[in-house]
Structure formats: C-alpha cells, structure tokens
Chains A and B, each alone.
Chain A
C-alpha cells in the first residue's frame, strides 16, 4: 500500500511534463507560421502598392484625356478639384488647367487609386486661331458700309465710363485703357470699306483689315483704315457648329411683358423659343440653350445675364432678332455670351409665302458677346452694336453700325472647332493636397467625409469658372527626378 502511494506520488509529480513539450512545439510552429504570414502580407502589400502606383499613373492620364476632350468641347480644361475630384473606375482624379498665354494651356492631372498617387502634366496648343480672335470675320465678302465704325477695346482693363469709339462702355472693371487701333477685320475673300456718301461719312476701321489670300481691300474715298491691309497667308476655315447633346422639351411662346419669363439655369433644349407681342424673357447663366428656332418679334425684350455664369445659345435653323426687338446684356463680359446659329438656307420657315433667311439681326442692342453663323450671309443692323466679335459666312455691317472688338478673345483658351495639339508631357510632383498626403484609398477617404465624387463626364468646368481648391501651399510642379 505504501509502495503504491509512493509510485502514485512520483507519477503525479511528473504529470504535465508532456504538455510543456507540446506547448513548446506549438509555440515554435506558431512563431514560424506568423513569420511566414508576415512575409506573405508584406509581399502582398508590396505588390499591391506597385500595382496601385501604376493604376494611379493611368488614372492621371485618364484625367488628361478627359480634360483634353473637355477643351475640344469648349470647356476650360479644369475637371474636378482636390476637394471634389472626379470618379473614374475605382479611383479619382482632378485636372487643373493653367492658361500659359499664346493659345497654350497646361493641364496638370493628379490620379489616385488605392495607395497609388501620380501627377502628370501636358501642355496643349490651339494651333488654329480661335474664330472669335479674328474680330469681324467672314468666309466670303465683308462690306463695311459708310458711317460704320469698327474699333477695339479690352474688357479686362477698360473701366466704366470710358469712351470707346464714341460710345460709353457700361460696367467694366479696372483702370482705363484704350488700344482702340487694334480692331481686326478679316475674310477669306474681298473686303469693302465704303467711302463717303451723300448720307454718311466714310466707314472707319481702327485697326487691321486682312482679305483672303487672293482677295483685296476696296477702300472708298473718305474711308479710314489705320492698320495693315495685307492679305492673309492662308484661309481660315470656319468650323462646323457642334451642338450640345440636349433633349428637346417642346416649344416656348411667350407674349407677356410682366412677369418676365425666366428660364432655369443649366442645360435646356426646345424646338422653338418665340417671344411675341410684348414678350419679356431673361436668360441667366450658367445656361446652355439649344433651339431649332429663336425668334424675337418687334416689341419684345430678351435679357441675357452672365453674372453667375456663361450663356450659350445654339440655334440650329432660324435666328430672327426682328427690328424693333431689344436684347439687353446685364453683364459686360463678352467672353461669357455666345449666340451660335448653324442655319444655311433661305426658305419659307413660317408658311407666309415669303422666304426667310436663316439669320436676321435687326434688334436694338448693346450686345456683349460673340455671334457665330458660319453658314449664313446677313446684314448686321446699325441698331445692334457688338462689344465682342462676330463671324459669319458673309457679312455686311450696315451704315452707322458699331462693332467694338474685345481683345480678351485673343487669350481665350480654345475655339469651338479647333482640336488642341499636345506639345509636351511630363511627370510632375504631387500637389500638397490632403487627399494625396493621406495614403488611403481615396474613395474610402471621401466616403468617410460624406463626399461623393462626381462622374468624370459631369466634372468639367466652363471657361472662366475657377474650381474651389483646398491647396494653400504653393505647388511647385517640378519635374519628378529619377
């Protein structure tokens, strides 16, 4: 009995020793497994990071393509911003467009995907001069009738109350300026500047008059041309009108003076926009309006207000601003207003037995903007004074008319029809933006802050609109060193 007790005590003392060994083995295996797992995770992270870096580069290049496409469509080139980037696939990007002058724009795109970040820059050049930069332009003949005056000014520097060409500029901004001898009249054919007649003094063009390569300037006795009359070296083809893709919502016919009809901002399309009787309407920007017909009868009034954004009116078939109608511009920035008409044929459009030309501009207006009718030949009434530019297939400036070419059009980033040409591409330093510096998935970063990125096709900014940005530190944009 005693011996049994001793052996029992001995075996009980040894109980648990196998557990120690087993624990040791498990610990060792566990440690090795953890080391291997750590290495695998590290490898995966490395591979994922390399893949994200490549994706970010492609994302940045996608941003450049998007901005380029926007510029072709007449946008500014700015797409999204660091505060509200554009969504593309499983990443985001934004593009900053910087006007370098001389028809050149620098597009800098920053792409983010996963933990990858990349920033690339592309300088593009609009080699073909903007049509609006030509001032008064026609594909065929231009006739400046006696008594008409064509001069120039710069809306960016000409102050309120400054007299230009005998007319007082309303609104305006900074210090006074003149440069009234920098008008531009150009054509792909002949240009006639009528001399003194019994009823009016000779026409005056305070600037250059350039006929087409085979054309001539016919300057009547008593006319004044202060600049060059050398023919152009090459003809300038008027680009086709590119209409925005907007669904039409029926017709608008309005005849009330009060209240004024106010169209909502944004994008709209109608078959016909017709002011009759004492109709009064206001178009406030930002607005892109696509119409088949724009008709203002005598006695009607149309107000264009670009204070909050550009107003662009595209007319496919019939633009009729009848004599006796009035167009008022609430803002004096011509670069923000455009009336574009693609109508060509003279046909009976209203079934009255009389053929109607595609373009009639007889309204009374101090119009601040650009008029573009590449397929129409018409006479610009002397009651329709233009502060900006005009281009048409053929053009007659009625006696007593006034056109003040705005030199701000010389520095506009693009032409409605000219495709920018890429000049040089490079990798640049990442911008000092918070979303860039925090190397987390950008979609998650934005989601945590309640921000929904905009689809890339909807993230474009119009020309003249500056996107909001949170970047306060200077961004050197130096080339990335190898």
Chain B
C-alpha cells in the first residue's frame, strides 16, 4: 500500500514535470516562430524600401497620423546612358492581417505577393481611440506602419500568431532604413 502510494506520487510528479516542460517548450517554439516571421517580413520590407528613389516615396499620411502603406520605385539598372526605374510598387497592410507587395497596383499587369497573413490589426500597445497609446508618436497605427522622416523611413511591424494554449503570441519589431537613391 505504501509502495503503491509512493509510486503514485512519483508518477504524478513525473507527469507534472513532463507536462510543464512540454508546455514550456511548445510556448517557446511558438514565440520563436512568431519572432522569426516578424524578422523575416521586416527585413524583406526594409530591403524593398532601401533602394527606393526618394522622390517616388509616398505615404498617405504624415506623423502623427499613421500610414499602413507605402508607394515607391526602385532602380532596375542603367541602360543606354539612363537610369531605369521600376514601375510603381506598394507595400500595404490590408484585409486586417495581411502584408502584401504589389507592382503596378490596380493595373492590368499587376504583380503581387503576400508576405505574411499574421500581421496584427493594430500595432502592439495601440488602441483604436484617436490617441497615441504606445507613445511612439503615431496615432492608431496598424500592425504595419510607415513613417517617412526625410530620407529615412521608420517601419514598425507587429506579428501575432495563436499560441499552443489558444492565446496570441505577439512580437513587435521596428527598423529604420535610409533610402539610398
């Protein structure tokens, strides 16, 4: 009887340890996945914008109003003594959770790609209330926001994905790129 009780105790403890460890590993894996996705998408956006021609760089609003889309053109090369610029391109936060890239947006020959479907509706810490809740100088910015300051573009991105316990795992990253053209 005593041995059985002791065995039960040991087994229960083992189960609790394994259970907690397993949950921790799964949680960490979810955080890791979210962080990896956030970094990849942000790096992709940064590399797309870094070669933009300054005069073609356009955002719908300027600070403190936020912009969740950016229009730009990049240098494609040099031909016949002249610089060749790409057609207009757009990176935008759309449909609530998507970050998409488009070339010739709205045209017949439009090309597009979706870089992530896990973008948050609003940037982390922000609420839709007309106030800068997270203190970054922007009001009600979406999960992807652009802020053009001279030659520099500040890009903020929040990625959220469901975790193992049903709670959302969130990761917010920010970077600043200086346009080279």
Partners in one complex: yes
Contact surface of A with B, Cβ cutoff 8 Å:
21, 25, 28-29, 32, 35-36, 39, 42-43, 46, 50, 53-54, 100-102, 104, 106, 123, 423-427, 477-480, 482
- Contact at A106–B36, with CB atoms within 8 Å? no
CB of A424 within 8 A of CB of B181, answer: yes
Contacts of A102 in B (CB 8 A): 81
- Chain B's interface: helix, strand, loop or mixed, by majority? helix
- A479 and B28 in contact, given A424-B83, A426-B51 (Cβ under 8 angstroms): no
Given contacts A50-B43, A425-B181, 20 further A-B contacts (CB under 8 A): A21-B10, A25-B14, A29-B21, A32-B18, A36-B21, A36-B24, A39-B25, A46-B32, A53-B43, A100-B81, A101-B81, A102-B81, A423-B78, A424-B78, A426-B77, A427-B47, A427-B51, A477-B77, A479-B51, A479-B76
* Chain A residues whose CB sits within 8 angstroms of the CB of B48 once the complex forms: 482
Which single member of B25, B76, B89, B181 contacts A32 (CB below 8 Å)? B25
In the complex, chain A residues whose CB is within 8 Å of the CB of B181: 424-426
A-B pairs with lowest CB-CB distance, top 6: A425-B180, A424-B75, A426-B75, A424-B83, A482-B48, A32-B21
Instruction: Provide the B115-148 mask, 1 if CB < 8 A to any CB of A, else 0.
Output: 0000000000000000000000000000000000
**Given B14, B77, B81, which contacts A479 in the complex, CB threshold below 8 Å?**
B77
Report the minimal beta-carbon distance from B140 to chain A, rounded to whole angstroms.
Answer: 27
Q: Given the complex, which residues of B lie within 8 Å of A123, measured CB to CB?
A: 78, 83
CB–CB B25/A36 < 8 A: yes
1/0 per residue, CB under 8 A from A, across B39-57: the answer is: 1000110011011000000
**CB<8 Å pairs between A and B, sample of 13:** A29-B17, A32-B22, A36-B24, A36-B28, A39-B28, A39-B32, A46-B39, A424-B83, A425-B181, A426-B51, A478-B77, A480-B47, A482-B48
> B residues within 8 A CB of A50?
39, 43
Query: A residues within 8 A CB of B24?
Result: 36
Q: Say yes or no: A426-B29 contact (C-beta < 8 A), given A25-B14, A32-B18, A50-B39.
A: no
B29:A39 contact, CB within 8 angstroms: yes
Minimum C-beta distance from A267 to chain B (A): 34
Chain A, residue nearest B31 (CB): A43
Contacting pair B74 A479 (CB below 8 A): yes
**Residue of B whose beta carbon sits closest to that of A61:** B180
Q: State whether A106 and B78 are in contact (beta carbons under 8 Å apart), knowing that A425-B180, A482-B44 are contacts in the complex.
A: yes
Looking across the interface, which residue of chain A has its beta carbon closest to that of B18?
A28
User: With A28-B18, A100-B78 as given contacts, are A425 and B51 in contact (CB-CB < 8 Å)?
Assistant: yes
A35 to B27 CA separation, bound complex (whole angstroms): 13
CA A192 – CA B32 in complex, angstroms?
Answer: 79
**Beta-carbon nearest neighbor of B7 in chain A:** A21
Contacts of B47 in A (CB 8 A): 427, 480, 482
A425 contact set on B, CB distance < 8 A? 51, 75, 180-181
Min Cβ gap A478→B in Å is: 8
B113 an interface residue at 8 Å Cβ cutoff? yes
Contacts of A54 in B (CB 8 A): 43
Residues of A within 8 A of B36 (CB): 43, 46
Is B75 a contact partner of A482 (Cβ separation < 8 A)?
no
Contacts of A35 in B (CB 8 A): 25
What is the bound-complex CA distance between A102 and B82, given in angstroms?
Answer: 11
Q: Which residues of A contact B76 (CB under 8 A)?
A: 426, 479
Interface string of B147-173 (1 = CB under 8 A from A): 000000000000000000000000000
- List, in ascending order, chain A residues with CB within 8 A of B32's CB: 39, 42-43, 46
Minimum CB distance partner of B179 in chain A: A425
* Assembled-state Cα–Cα distance A46/B29 (Å): 13
Min distance, Cβ A235 to any Cβ of chain B, angstroms: 26
CA distance A297 to B77 in the complex (A): 54
A322 to B77, CA, bound (A): 52
Query: CB-CB < 8 A to A21: which residues of B?
Result: 10
Residues of B within 8 A of A480 (CB): 47
With a cutoff of 8 Å between Cβ atoms, the chain A residues found around residue B75 in the complex are: 424-426, 479
Closest to A102 in B: B81
Which residue from A43, A104, A424, A482 sits with its C-beta under 8 Å from B81? Answer: A104
| Most chain B CB inside 10 Å of its own CB: which residue of A54, A477, A482 | A482
Chain B residues lying within 8 Å of A427, measured Cβ to Cβ, are 47, 50-51
| Chain B residue, CB-CB nearest to A25 | B14
Interface string of B55-80 (1 = CB under 8 A from A): 00000000000000000001111100
CA distance A386 to B131 in the complex (A): 76
Choose among A21, A28, A425 the residue with the greatest number of B CB atoms under 10 Å from its CB: A425
